[in-house]
Structure 1
C-alpha cells in the first residue's frame, strides 16, 4: 500500500475522539497524526469520554498512544489548546492550566492566515438536552453506543467483503426527521453565538456531523468526530479551511491500490 505523503498545515482541529470507549477509532487517528504536521492543534472537546469511564475501564495501548502523540507535539513546539466538552467536562475545572504544554481553555478565538476570526467551542452549551435534561442525554448516549456497536460489526463485515468504511449512525442521522431538526437547531444556535461575539465564524464539534457552510453570513464549521466519520478540520497555510475524511482516504488506498495510490490529493472539502 502506498503511504500518503506528510501533510503540512497551519492548524488542525480534532474533536469527539472519545478515548476510553470501544467506538473510538484510535488507530485511524494515529495514522492521521503520523502523516501530518501543524503549528497549532485544537482539541475541541470530548477527547476523553468521562461518562463511559464511570461505568467501566477500557483503555487499550492505542488510546494511550494518542495521548502521548498530543503531548509530544506540544513538547516539539506545537501550540496545543484543549477545549473540553460535555463528556470530559471535569477538565473545565482546570481552564487556564497547562498540562505538559497543553493549555486548557473554555473556548478560544482563532484567527486564520487570511484574517478571519473564528470562535472555537465544543458546542454542548447550545444543546438543550445536555443543558436541561441531562438524564435524557445519558439515555441518548447509551442508545448511541448501541448503534456504534452495530456500526463496528457492520464495517468488519464490509472490510471482509472488500468494501470501504461506511457510517451507519451517520446514515440514520440523515434519515430521521427529529435528528435533522435537532442538528439544524444546533447549527443555528452556534452560529448565533458567533454572530453575538462579532466573529466571522464558529468551529465546533459535539454532534458528530462534519459540515462547512454559511448560516446567514456566519461561517459554520463542524470538524466531525473519530468514532463515526473520522474527520479532521485543517487550515492550510493560506487560511483555507478543509475537512479531511481520513477513513475514506485510507480505505480507498487499501481497496483500490492501483487507482487510489494518489491518496494525498484526494481530500475534498465539504460544501464551502
Structure 2
C-alpha cells in the first residue's frame, strides 16, 4: 500500500490567527498530486484550528468557521482516499467520529498513526490550561506581536522534549514505546512540526512535520517496497 501522511495544517477561520499560510488553490494542487500518487492520504491531526476564537470554549463554532473559510479543501477531505486522525487543536472532531489512533496492517508491515499530543503532560492532565495558552497566543497575534508569539512557540516546543535527535528526543522514545505496546513496526506521528525519520532498534519512528505557515512536508510510505521517506517539497 502506498500512503501519504500530512499533519498540522492548522486551517483556521481566516485573519491573523489562521496559521495555514497557503493559497487554497495551490494547496488543492498539492492534494491532487497526493491523490494521484498514493492509495491513501492520512490526515494526522491538527488539521483544523479550533482553539483560537475570539471567545474561549467555542471549538465547534471555530471548526465550522474554519471549514467554511477553506470550503474546497474541507470537501476534498471528505473523499474516500482520506483518513483523518484528530490532534489536540481539533480534538472536537471526536464529536464527528474522528478517531485518536489509526492502525494499518499491509504487506507484513504493522503501522500505527497517532498525532502525539498524548505525550504532552499539560494536554493530558490539564487540557484546559493548554487550550487557554493557545487562545492567549491567538490574542497576542491579533494585537500584532508576532515575534512574541513565535518565541512562545519555541518555548512550548522545548518544553515538549521534541527534537530530531533519536538519542535525546523524549517524544520519539514515548512514541516507540507506544508502538511496542501496540505491536506496531512503524509509528507515525505529527504534533511537533519536526519532519523526522529515525530508527529505534527494530521499530521505525516517523513524523510528518507540518503543512502550516506556508510550508510543506509530508511522508511517503510504500509497504510493498518497505520504503519510508520524509519530503519537504513536492
Contact kept in structure 2, 1:26 and 1:63, CA below 8 Å: no
SS of residue paired to 2:52 = helix
Instruction: Please give the alpha-carbon distance, in whole angstroms, between the structure 2 residues aligned to 1:54 and 1:119.
Output: 35
- Equivalent in the alignment of 2:131: 138
Distance 1:243 1:94, change over 3 A: same
Contact kept in structure 2, 1:85 and 1:123, CA below 8 Å: yes
Candidates 11, 21, 24, aligned match of 2:20: 24
Please, which runs of 5 or more residues in structure 1 have no aligned partner? 1-8, 96-103, 154-167, 250-272
Please, which runs of 5 or more residues in structure 2 have no aligned partner? 56-60, 163-168
Candidates 232, 238, 250, aligned match of 2:225: 238
- Equivalent in the alignment of 1:269: none
- Equivalent in the alignment of 1:82: 84
Contact kept in structure 2, 1:81 and 1:105, CA below 8 Å: no
Instruction: Please give the alpha-carbon distance, in whole angstroms, between the structure 1 residues aligned to 2:137 and 2:221.
Output: 30
Structure 2-normalised TM-score? 0.72
- Equivalent in the alignment of 2:58: none
- Equivalent in the alignment of 1:194: 179
- Equivalent in the alignment of 1:66: 73
Contact kept in structure 2, 1:112 and 1:239, CA below 8 Å: no
Per-residue CA deviation, residues 86-134 of structure 1 (Å, 9 max, x unaligned), is 1111222343xxxxxxxx3331112354x22111111111211211233
Instruction: Please give the alpha-carbon distance, in whole angstroms, between the structure 2 residues aligned to 1:225 and 1:52.
Output: 18
SS of residue paired to 1:35 = helix
Deviation at 1:179, TM superposition (A): 0.6
- Equivalent in the alignment of 1:100: none
- Equivalent in the alignment of 2:121: 128
Distance 1:169 1:244, change over 3 A: farther
Deviation at 1:221, TM superposition (A): 0.6
Between 44-53 and 134-143, report the one with greater CA deviation.
134-143
Contact kept in structure 2, 1:29 and 1:226, CA below 8 Å: no
Per-residue CA deviation, residues 30-79 of structure 1 (Å, 9 max, x unaligned), is 231132322112111111111124649664977222112222x42xxx2x
**Greater radius of gyration (CA):** 1
Quote the RMSD (CA, aligned, Å): 3.4
Candidates 100, 115, 119, aligned match of 1:106: 100
Instruction: Please give the alpha-carbon distance, in whole angstroms, between the structure 1 residues aligned to 2:145 and 2:231.
Output: 24
Structure 1-normalised TM-score? 0.63
Between 115-124 and 50-59, report the one with greater CA deviation.
50-59
SS of residue paired to 2:161 = helix
Distance 1:239 1:140, change over 3 A: farther
Instruction: Please give the alpha-carbon distance, in whole angstroms, between the structure 1 residues aligned to 2:41 and 2:137.
Output: 28
- Equivalent in the alignment of 2:48: 48
4+ long deviations beyond 4 Å:
56-62, 142-147
